[in-house]
């Protein structure tokens, strides 16, 4: 049986001023990080960010729980050792719909499951923000049903360099010079069974599928009989 732990944090801003966020739960993003991102934005961008009722957002995420469990359960039918950490970041417009959604953090290693979670969020109605768009985040930590062999990226430098070169064609304005976190499950011969990517921002979400299509064609090298899990960064 697999289980997951939910850690939620809602980034709330009124005209660019960070609200007091609750103490972070296990592996949840720290309140200071959200405030720092907002402080670095331009005055015009900051003025577009409004406030959200945290209790209402928490209830909206709770309504996703069944969908979340179904996404993870479906993922384990493809990858028996599926597990890891994901953090979903959302921007909610003044009609309660999502302007964008992406996984700002993920070590899950399965794009289908990541997309399932994002689609579940897009299908929901969200609380109406006040004074601009609202920002919200939620983390999920999934225990794998069975242990998986963790692989050292340093042993696959040649393959990772090839991936870096080939996926460059997928990049677009707004994603250069930023970090994409790749997690892949490799079979015995080093060919990816499943791949997931955490983009650096909402613009990166648009190029993830292109990158994964390329990564899945790369043989990273033999790893032995057991399935292995490999994580590395692309810049």
For residue range 33-74, what is the model confidence (pLDDT) as tens digits? 333 344 344 444 445 899 999 999 999 999 999 999 999 999
SS3 97: coil
Q: Range(s) for CATH 3.30.1150 in the chain?
A: 149-234
The pLDDT of residue 96: 96
Give residues with Cβ within 8 angstroms of 85, minimum separation 6. 27, 105, 106, 107, 108, 139, 140, 141, 142
- For the domain bounded by 149-234, which CATH number is listed? 3.30.1150
pTM of the entire structure? 0.81
- Residue 183's pLDDT band (cuts 50, 70, 90): very high
């Amino acid at each position: 049986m697999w289980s997951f732990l939910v850690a939620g944090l809602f980034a709330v801003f009124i005209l660019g001023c960070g609200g007091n966020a609750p103490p972070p739960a296990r592996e949840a993003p720290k309140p200071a990080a959200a405030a720092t991102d907002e402080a670095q934005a331009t005055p015009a961008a900051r003025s577009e960010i409004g406030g959200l009722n945290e209790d209402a957002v928490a209830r909206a995420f709770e309504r996703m729980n069944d969908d979340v469990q179904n996404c993870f359960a479906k993922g384990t039918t493809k990858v028996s050792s599926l597990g890891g950490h994901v953090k979903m970041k959302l921007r909610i417009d003044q009609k309660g719909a999502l302007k964008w959604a992406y996984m700002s953090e993920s070590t899950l290693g399965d794009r289908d499951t990541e997309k399932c979670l994002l689609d579940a969020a897009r299908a929901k109605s969200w609380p109406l923000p006040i004074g601009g768009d609202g920002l919200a985040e939620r983390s999920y930590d999934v225990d794998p049903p069975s242990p998986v062999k963790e692989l050292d990226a340093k042993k696959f430098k040649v393959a990772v360099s090839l991936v870096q070169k080939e996926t460059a064609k997928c990049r677009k304005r707004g994603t250069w010079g930023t970090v994409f976190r790749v997690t892949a499950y490799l079979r015995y011969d080093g060919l990816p069974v499943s791949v997931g990517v955490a983009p650096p921002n909402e613009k990166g979400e648009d190029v993830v599928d292109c990158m994964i299509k390329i990564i899945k064609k790369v043989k990273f090298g033999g790893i032995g009989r057991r399935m292995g899990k490999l994580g590395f960064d692309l810049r």
